[in-house]
Amino acid sequence: MKAPESLLSVRDLNISLGGQHLVRSVDLDIEAGQCLALVGESGSGKSLTALSLMRLLPRSAKISQQHILFEGQSLAAYSEAQWRQLRARRIAMIFQNPMTAMNPTMRVGQQIAEVLCLHAGVSRREASRQAVALLERLGIVNAAQKARQYPFEMSGGMLQRAVIAMAIACKPALLIADEPTTALDATVQAEVLVLLRELCNEQNMGLLLITHDLGVVRRMAQKVAVMYAGKLVETGDISRVFNTPAHPYTQALKQAMPSLTEQRDLLMAIPGTPPDLSKPIAGCAFAARCPQAMNVCARQQPADYLTAPEQHAKCWLWDPARTKAS
């Protein structure tokens, strides 16, 4: 399984933190101009996965992977300085809460200009000018004045636009958006999502969208990866995963999915809690909550099964042996 045309390709990514094996053997492929949604409940390891793609993990985190290729380059041996060159310039990130993602004591425009100064090598004045232009492009009226404001003076939606402006300032090839709309009002959410999609199309930018909102996934992504307890349990084409979810977890997610406007926590939707990751898990991590769990699920980890073209699932249900048994 290789994807030479991939913008980013990660194989067998493992992250542990504080004795907990939080991301386990994750494979990811993102293509330019494409949106991959990483779905999972909180604590499933999706944010860590995203941070690892920029090497922004906490110091105490241990990371290993078979390979990480970005634009055809292996990043595995990159030094911190090289990573810094990569960040914001080629890979950028948007965080969940725009109110806290901005430095409260620095003007918004300045924070955007900072990126430009650093990577585009322009003068401070030019950077400020470009920052205003960026804000304007992202649909902020009176951008010049807004750029001089402090974060606490702006609304959430406006701030998230500013954060996006900061992220795309250097026209990165890959944008990672970690729950970019969770902290926003529903109406603002829609605007931001539209904006992100437009940007992807315009700049042929890859987008890794992290969310637990399946509604958002359906509107944005071409591909989806469902994560549970540090593992990708199902990956595939958006329409297939949505129409015929292969993994019981995905199925549960789909059932729990409310109407588009209603916010609900996935945690509450599925009975039970995720397993304790500080101990090794013998079988399928979802087994304890799985309505279709079998004895083997508790004992042995399932392999990756191709359930349909462009759709993979890690579930014993798809084992040929079981098909035979039943």
Question: Where along the sequence are the contacts to other proteins (CB under 8 A)?
Answer: 54, 56, 83-89, 92-93, 95-97, 100-106, 114-115, 118-119, 150, 152-153, 163, 166-167, 267, 271-273, 287-290, 292-299, 316, 321-322, 325-326
- To the nearest whole angstrom, how small is the minimum distance from the Cβ of residue 288 to other proteins? 4
Burial class (CB in 10 A: 0-12, 13-18, 19+), 63: middle
Q: CA-CA distance, 33 to 118, in Å (whole number)? A: 25
- To the nearest whole angstrom, how small is the minimum distance from the Cβ of residue 188 to other proteins? 18
- To the nearest whole angstrom, how small is the minimum distance from the Cβ of residue 84 to other proteins? 5
Q: CA-CA distance, 238 to 225, in Å (whole number)? A: 9
- To the nearest whole angstrom, how small is the minimum distance from the Cβ of residue 242 to other proteins? 27
Q: Compute the Cα dihedral for 161, 163, 167, 171 and give only its sign.
A: positive
- To the nearest whole angstrom, how small is the minimum distance from the Cβ of residue 47 to other proteins? 10
Query: DSSP class of residue 303?
Result: -
Q: CA-CA distance, 127 to 113, in Å (whole number)? A: 5
Nearer to other proteins, 152 or 239 (CB): 152
Nearer to other proteins, 83 or 242 (CB): 83
Which tokens hold the place of 232? 């990708």
Nearer to other proteins, 94 or 220 (CB): 94
Q: Are 29 and 67 in contact (CB under 8 A)?
A: no
Q: CA-CA distance, 164 to 143, in Å (whole number)? A: 14
Q: Are 72 and 239 in contact (CB under 8 A)?
A: no
- Collapse the DSSP code of 210 into the 3-class scheme (helix H, G, I; strand E, B; otherwise coil) and give the result: strand
Nearer to other proteins, 141 or 321 (CB): 321
- To the nearest whole angstrom, how small is the minimum distance from the Cβ of residue 69 to other proteins? 20
Nearer to other proteins, 178 or 234 (CB): 178
Partnered with residue 210 across adjacent β-strands are: 38, 178
From residue 70, alpha-carbon distances to 100, 148, 210 in Å are 29, 36, 19
Q: CA-CA distance, 169 to 135, in Å (whole number)? A: 10
Strand ranges (DSSP E) for 154-253?
174-178, 206-211, 223-228, 231-237
Q: CA-CA distance, 223 to 238, in Å (whole number)? A: 5
Nearer to other proteins, 23 or 101 (CB): 101
- To the nearest whole angstrom, how small is the minimum distance from the Cβ of residue 235 to other proteins? 22
Nearer to other proteins, 136 or 319 (CB): 319
Nearer to other proteins, 105 or 259 (CB): 105
- To the nearest whole angstrom, how small is the minimum distance from the Cβ of residue 95 to other proteins? 5
